[in-house]
Amino acid sequence: MKQKILITRPFFPDLVERLRASFDVTVNEGPKYTPEQFKEALKGQQGVLVAGGEKIDGPLLEGLSGLDIICVSAAGYNNVDVSAVTRAGIMVTNSPGPADETVADFAWGSLIAAARRLTEGEHFVQDGLWNGPNGHRFFGIDVYGKTMGIIGMGGIGRAMARRATGFRVKIMYHNRRRLAPEVEQECLATYATKDELLRGSDFVILALPYTPANHHIIGKEELQLMRSSAILVNIARGGLIDEPALAEALQQRRIAAAALDVFEGEPAVHPGLIGLPNVVLTPHIAGATWEAQHGLAAMAVDNLLAGLGHGPHAGRPPALLNPEVLKNP
């Protein structure tokens, strides 16, 4: 009898067929599960591929037996309580890497949109207000030749830094651990403390994972350190920014602008951010290309196959987050 696995959202057909060769696969083709429906659907499953950001925590796992692995089809996994999953003796994996270049492209696009006031300009045209020369009305900020501060120099941060060369943009970065000298050289990046970065950057980019330690890493105090001409970009995770403090800073022009693709309560957006002319808001789409999402999903499939004993990495998934659950870690 084949092992049973659950895919929580509609999925790439070619990858579903790849899984069907080894497993009895159930795909949720309907609306996103409620927590109660999700728990019921997990009963009897040996693996689950989380494709829609479903929350996985202790209460969900309580009373479940037989679940061996949880595979997240994304690099970020703040929807998963890894400690609770580990206590339950279940493997959990994510999919780091496949979307890094895609998200870096989007982050640069968002920065340019905020710096050059593209959203304001588009609304001006769409609303029929353009009736003559208006160049002075939409004076923006040059990107070329400025200083970018990247908080979080993982794959996305490094991809952003590599793109900076063409803009002659100087890179500062802050990271939990300093990069190796050869990586700093590759990225032409200089390490700085967080305060040094905030004071010295024209553009501040958040590219770090959300953890409790990183909650509101940008708050009122940090915003006050930033230049009045600075632009803040978040393509990482909601919860990294104190959104009421940011709304106030934007309203009072204590910083010039922001571009936000993620939000603390998404899909809800803090009302203070809605309607501001100096903010670019997008619905968590930085990684939304077919190539990136298929790559993330394919990595999740690799992890699932390995975790349930199939393929060249049988028994040890490539992107395992909690190796301590293995009998021979």
Backbone angles phi, psi at 244, to 5 degrees: -60, -40
Name the DSSP letter for residue 303. H
Residue 264's Cβ-side half-sphere holds a number of Cα atoms within 13 Å equal to: 18
- Tokens for 255? 């910083």
Candidates 248, 266, 313, 316; catalytic one: 266
- Tokens for 58? 């202790």
Candidates 199, 216, 284, 310; catalytic one: 284
Candidates 120, 174, 237, 243; catalytic one: 237
| DSSP track, 166-232 | GGT-EEEEE-SSPPPHHHHHHHTEEE--HHHHHHH-SEEEE-S---GGGTTSB-HHHHHHS-TT-EE
Q: Report whether 299 contacts 95 (CB < 8 A).
A: yes
- Residue 116: active-site member: no
- Residue 248: active-site member: no
172 contact partners, CB below 8 Å, separation of at least 6: 147, 148, 149, 150, 189, 190, 191, 192, 196, 197, 200, 201
Residue 145's Cβ-side half-sphere holds a number of Cα atoms within 13 Å equal to: 2
Distance, in Å, from the CA atom of 257 to the CA atom of 141, rounded to the nearest integer, reads 10
Q: Comparing C-alpha atoms, which of 76, 115, 122, 113 is closest to residue 95?
A: 76
**Cβ neighbour number for residue 143 with a 10 Å cutoff:** 20
Spell out where the chain has E strands: 3-7, 23-27, 47-50, 69-72, 91-93, 147-151, 170-174, 189-191, 203-206, 231-234, 257-260, 279-281
- Residue 324: active-site member: no
Annotated catalytic sites, by residue?
A: 237, 266, 284
